[in-house]
Structure 1
Amino acid sequence: MDDPGTSTDCIPCQQNEMQSFEQVTAPIVADLKSNLMDPSTFIPPSPLPGPSIAIEFCDRCRWLHRATWLSTELFLTFPPPTLKGITLMPMSADETAGRFRVWLFLHGEQPHLIWDRKVEGGFPELKVLKQRVRDHVQPGKSLGHSDKK
């Protein structure tokens, strides 16, 4: 029987790998700090295949529940194959404090920033978020009561 204090499934990160990552990203982070409110300077996360969404959120602000709720609602409205995946990306660095961004990835296109909490001045209403996603992935789709004024 394995010792409960150890794990055989995980391989710890090598210290030199983390240093090289920090060395590579340090200039990017420095540039981002000077443009915190300019969406054109935001660097999107790595894309998933096909139409997919990534939700970046500040883990220190405890926004996991909000991110999971939005991902569930988006999957219910745009089930596979319309959306192939939704990734939740908790962030806990100083430069990502207070972040809540929703990115849309479409095949062969630049990522679309669907929502940024700081730029928009708050969290998205579900209706607005669904409409923005729909306008890119299924422009003719009716959202039922979400489309009514």
Structure 2
Amino acid sequence: MKPVITIEYCPKCGWLLRAAYMAQEILISFSADIKAVSLQPSEQPGAYYIYINDDIVFNRKEYGGFPEIKIIKRIIRNIVNPEKNLGHIDMN
């Protein structure tokens, strides 16, 4: 069964657009590998998590900020389809 990716974001921090951008990029890169991407407003201030199914794969606070989208794509690729070539992202 294909995984579901959830992006949980803090709406009070104004991170909806960032979450929507990341969801779009994930869908473009992994449309054949995933079932869905969902956006979930958090009640926790400052929260920004990315889940694959129920497992947290990215936590903004632990990471120390927001990475470039290529980092997020690599994290997701390594879990949902490790053999997938990400093109120019893999060259950096």
Q: TM-score normalized by structure 1?
A: 0.59
Partner of 1:99: 47
Max Rg structure: 1
1:1-149 alignment runs, 5 A limit? 50-80=2-32, 82-91=33-42, 93=43, 96-105=44-53, 111-149=54-92
- Show CA shifts across 1:113-132 (max 9, x none): 22111111001221111011
CA distance in structure 2 between the partners assigned to 1:112 and 1:130 by the alignment: 16
Could you say what the CA RMSD is over the residues aligned between the two structures, in angstroms?
1.2
1:50 CA drift (Å): 3.2
Aligned-partner SS, 1:76: helix
Contact 1:115 1:124 in 2 (8 A): no
Partner of 1:24: none
Aligned-partner SS, 1:60: helix
CA distance in structure 2 between the partners assigned to 1:116 and 1:71 by the alignment: 15
CA distance in structure 2 between the partners assigned to 1:67 and 1:74 by the alignment: 10
Q: What's the % identity of the aligned pairs?
A: 36
> What are the ranges of 5 or more consecutive residues in structure 2 without an aligned counterpart?
none
- Show CA shifts across 1:67-123 (max 9, x none): 00000000000014x1111110012x3xx1011000012xxxxx3322111111001
> What are the ranges of 5 or more consecutive residues in structure 1 without an aligned counterpart?
1-48, 106-110
Q: Which has the higher contact order (CA 8 A, sep 6+)?
A: 2
CA distance in structure 1 between the partners assigned to 2:46 and 2:58 by the alignment: 13
